[in-house]
Structure 1
Amino acid sequence: MTRRLLPSGEAALLVECDSLDEVLALHDALEAARPDGVVELVPAARTLLVAVDPGRMPLESAATWVRRIPAEAGSRVAGAHADAVRIPVVYDGDDLAATAEVLDVSVDELVARHSGIEWRVAFGGFAPGFGYLVSEAWPFEVPRLEAPRPRVPAGSVAVAGAFGGVYPRQSPGGWRLLGRTAATLWDPASNDPAVLAPGRRVRFEQA
């Protein structure tokens, strides 16, 4: 696994990897052996930010820890987030039928594939509480809409590229809408505001 370490201010390191699989494997390995002084691990599509408290863990020590931790792409440490989030979905999205046609499957098969597998939050982004979901059991590369919608309702369950996601609030968006959920996935008043935090396991259940 390639790990390029770059300083990011006085209290963080940015680790560059070659693929999302490498990011996920490294995130899990670091989380499983997280020492005192590591404040936060923030994964993205090709990078992992390691934030530390320099008074407890100098950046030099953090860099040594990151370089030495064993991890290989495709290897995951199970149980970092043991309890899967279960999200009830009404599969009546505006793009459901068209997406099934694009993927050359029936609507029923698309719903069964989406709801019959376990997803994982790879990283967050786009909007507070939005998690980019991946699954080794999801076989599709879904084209985005040619023109994004100016308003996507909160709770919209969507797919694009190799990712799944749920819009936590109304916003513009170009992902294909498969359904909707009434689940609250972003609560800024909570101590743990983002339900779909990186590493979380997710199951969609047909409502």
Structure 2
Amino acid sequence: IKTESTVFPENKITNAVAEITIKDDLVSVFFEKNEDFRKIIKGLGYVWSGSSWGKKIEETTGAAKERAAELGNALLNAGFPIMILEEKILRNAIEGNFEPECTNWIYRRIGKDLLAINWKGYNDKLYQKARSLPGAKWDSPSVVVNVAHYNEVEEFADLYNFKFTEDAKKLINEYKEQIQKVEVVKPAKVEKEEQKDGLEKILESSDEILDDLKD
């Protein structure tokens, strides 16, 4: 079974096989000590557990099958043979048929009406664009924006390929419901009376008096 689930890339650099296993909440890979392999794994967010490398599956990682196919594809392209027991995932790894992991996310800041913008690694362009949003400020490790500016945040997300967590979506929907209940009024406009120049009036009166005396 293992042989049938193993593939060698055309450009293989070793006969040693990286064994990838999948659970709903974890993708693991076992391989001998190799620096090139380690760089690939760490770049994809895998952590050493003492016996293998693993990636915990969460809302922001995408499904385990997607991450396993992405991992397999990266290793194959680097020349490492792989083994995946699930045939469909193995085929997806070979064919590059998976949704790449999104590392740009907008969260809800716990306990506050704030949207927290996060991305992986250093990116000054994203930082500057995020900070240009109304009322945005840096609150490590995120740029935070009040939910009142959700329209601008949604436009930012569309432009720069960010996704919203379910909690962030919930906060936005809650805010929309709240503002729908707020009374909309048309305030009366009070015209300000033009300020008269009292001194000018006095001087005009004085001139009139002087003219009368001349007569």
TM-score (norm 2): 0.22
Q: Which has the larger radius of gyration?
A: 2
Structure with bigger helix share is: 2
Q: Which has the higher strand share?
A: 1
